[in-house]
Amino acid sequence: MPTNPLLYTSGLPPFNLIKAEHIVPAVTEVLANANKDFDRVEATLTPDFRPTWDNLLKPLDIIDHAVFRVWSPVGHLMGVMNSDEIRKAYETVQPEIVKFGLKTSQSKKLYDAYMKIQSDPSGKSLPRPRQRIIEHAVLSMKLSGVGLEGAAKDRYNQIAQELAALKTKFSNNALDSTKAWSMTLTAKEELDGLPDHAVALASQEHNRATKTTESTADKGPWRFTLDAPSYIPFIENSKRRDLREKTYRARIAIASSGDFDNSPIIDKILSLKQEQAKLLGFSTYAEQSMASKMSGKVAAVDKLLEELLAASLEPGKREHQELETFAKSKEFTEKLLEWDIPYYAERLKEEKYQYSEDELRPYFPISKVLNGMFDLVRKIFEIRVEAADGAAPVWHQDVRYFKVLDDKTGKQLAAFYLDPFARSGLKRSGAWMDDCMNRRKDGAKLDLPVAYLVCNGTPPVGGKPGLMGFDEVHTLFHEFGHGLQHMLTVVDDAGAAGINGIEWDAVELASQFMENWLYHKSSLLSLSGHVDTNAALPEKYLTKILAARNYRAASIMLRQLHMGLTDIELHHRFNVGGSETTHDVFNRIAKRTSVLPPRPENRFLCAFSHIFSGGYSAGYYSYKWAEVLSADAFAAFEEAGLDNPRAINETGLRYRNTVLSLGGGEHPSVVFRQFRGRDPSTKALLKHSGLL
């Protein structure tokens, strides 16, 4: 066995052994071997060579798999255990990773070989997933500059390297800027209105940051940060308007000044993407992006977003007027500003539905939520999830490991890691699912899929287990939905297995689908159990949660549309260096989508990692595009009868055998029709959102 744990060739990544100093030598070695192996494959691609799946795609898959096994855990650690040492190693080898990717994707010999397979009768008779892998490879190579020559090719490659470095820098700046700000309170009256769990977490955070035990929840000091488990309870509950303003202003200024300023990076990223698109023959980067999306054209995206905007704007205005009226009734005489809206929205919700989010939290200990979620998917999809803690090396003590089995046969299908809690300064914000291992068959050997499910939930405080807010339960269900699509695949070729090869604007279907179950009474009940007594969520709360499902739904929709329209505008119509800045665009779009325009100093874009360092460039609309699919998919269960176990199981198996099983092995529109029997409709989404 190699001495470098990143070079282990089988089993799960040995996270208990991997250190920053292993990264550079491991990546250097695997890339040296990969380059040699690729050169050997390419040398066989002579004019008289007849390429097939076995003599071309299999050797390439072996090369890709070797690089993936080393690079995937490195990228994962950058997200969940970020450190100066890991960053330095990552940034040292990233250019070589990009260089290798460009080498393989710009090989004209390989491109010609793919085209030969596509035109050959044997290629046309390949199973559909393999045809899709080749189709995606051809398109990916076109979008990677395989048709470029000379100076154009050199410039394309230079841009690719620059973009990779800029995206990493953007992400690091957002993390470092978030980490750099905190607010320490010392007087009890400064905590007025805050829920107990937020105060306890602030005390715990002070002790973590100072490496002391001086703070107690009762006496402080209390340290608040911009991480979601700290920020959200504060902005929604603090009675101190001045402190809410201070915290809000810090939040909208993340990564917008000093050493962490992402504004120039945004301009550079947009400029380079536009230049890249034109090198490839597209008029804008958004058009380049749509070439590989389900939507196909910017016009189709504009049509969907405008349709949703038209349905949401007037209801959004009514919601804001209702909030203003309510605030005045509580003797608030000032103008309602951004740091007031979350506070009064929570108070109005409490008055309308007679409960607070903090009242719910004790009913959702994470262990109970997990057991309820696992029981739900057992009933719907006939799978069984079993805890396997200790069976896999982990990167942090909070991480858990689970196996997924077929409930009828007991056969293991997959596994996943769950990293549920926020880690200040070490873990990037948000939540995500990623692939640790892909389903991949090589002869008699079958690698089962393994997923990473990463959240930033509230960590355990005050000796209690992790207690989840309802929004955190939402997030967990969302990521588990992604995980199910990765883990329940039946495709044996990694390039189309699970989430691989699915058009980007369809990937949120499986995740958003799972969220709908939180509004089914018996499903929600099964997730709850009071942390002290295990008493189920009382009927009064169940009824109120269901009634509150569409509370401020139009406002939430408008916020998503604001981000989606801004993303398209920046990547399709914006001119870097023109009279408008990117922040001007953000504010201009807001005039159409926001009842209360954002403050001129709002720099949200500087931390908008989805589109500047993630995979959602000219693709943020995907959440809404896929939500149409997910709402319509869930409507099939509603039509079958949500309280009819047999009908739900039958519909669930049909969903499992199409949406969850086929992965990228078939076009998502075909998969949806196989499940639903027709094309998708927006009616279910508008109905679920209370906007019909």
* Percent of the chain clearing pLDDT 70 (strictly above): 100
Tokens read off for 33: 């071997």
* CA–CA dist 52, 583 (Å, integer): 51
Q: In the 8-state DSSP scheme, what is residue 466?
A: P
Residues 503-508: what's their mean pLDDT? Answer: 95
* CA–CA dist 22, 155 (Å, integer): 32
Q: In the 8-state DSSP scheme, what is residue 346?
A: H
689 versus 69: the higher-pLDDT residue is 69
pLDDT band at 666 (very low <50, low <70, confident <90, very high): very high
First to last CA, the chain: 61
Tokens read off for 450: 């393994």
- Specify whether the CB–CB gap between 680 and 628 falls below 8 A: yes
Give pLDDT tens digits for 106-136: 999 999 999 999 999 988 899 999 999 999 9
Please report where in the chains the tokens 């929709």 appear, as a residue. Answer: 557
Residue 692 pLDDT: 72
Closest CA to 629 of 676, 666, 667, 662: 676
361-502+520-547 CATH choice from 3.40.50.300, 1.10.10.10, 1.10.10.60, 1.10.1370.40:
1.10.1370.40
Residue 632 pLDDT: 96
Report angle CA 60, 63, 66 to the nearest 5 degrees.
150
Please give the helix or strand (H or E) that residue 452 lies within, else none. Answer: strand 450-457
- Specify whether the CB–CB gap between 66 and 442 falls below 8 A: no
Residue 462 pLDDT: 80
Q: In the 8-state DSSP scheme, what is residue 576?
A: T
Residue 690 pLDDT: 82
pLDDT band at 514 (very low <50, low <70, confident <90, very high): very high
Domain boundary assignment for the chain: 5-126, 181-237, 361-502+520-547
Give pLDDT tens digits for 451-482: 999 999 999 998 888 999 999 999 999 999 99
- Beta strand 450-457 pairing with 412-421: parallel
Give pLDDT tens digits for 332-378: 999 999 999 999 999 999 999 998 888 999 999 999 999 999 999 99
Choice among 472, 479, 515, 569 that is catalytic: 479
Residue 463 pLDDT: 83
Spacing of C-alpha 139 from chain mean position: 24
Residue 376 pLDDT: 98
pLDDT band at 636 (very low <50, low <70, confident <90, very high): very high
CB-CB neighbours of 187 under 10 Å = 10
pLDDT band at 7 (very low <50, low <70, confident <90, very high): very high
User: Is 479 among the residues known to form the active site?
Assistant: yes
Average pLDDT, the chain: 96
* CA–CA dist 270, 285 (Å, integer): 9
* CA–CA dist 302, 311 (Å, integer): 14
Please name the residue ranges forming H helices in 338-444. 341-353, 357-360, 366-381
Phi and psi, residue 456, nearest 5°: -125, 55
User: Using CB atoms within 10 A of its CB, is residue 573 exposed (0-12), middle (13-18) or buried (19+)?
Assistant: exposed
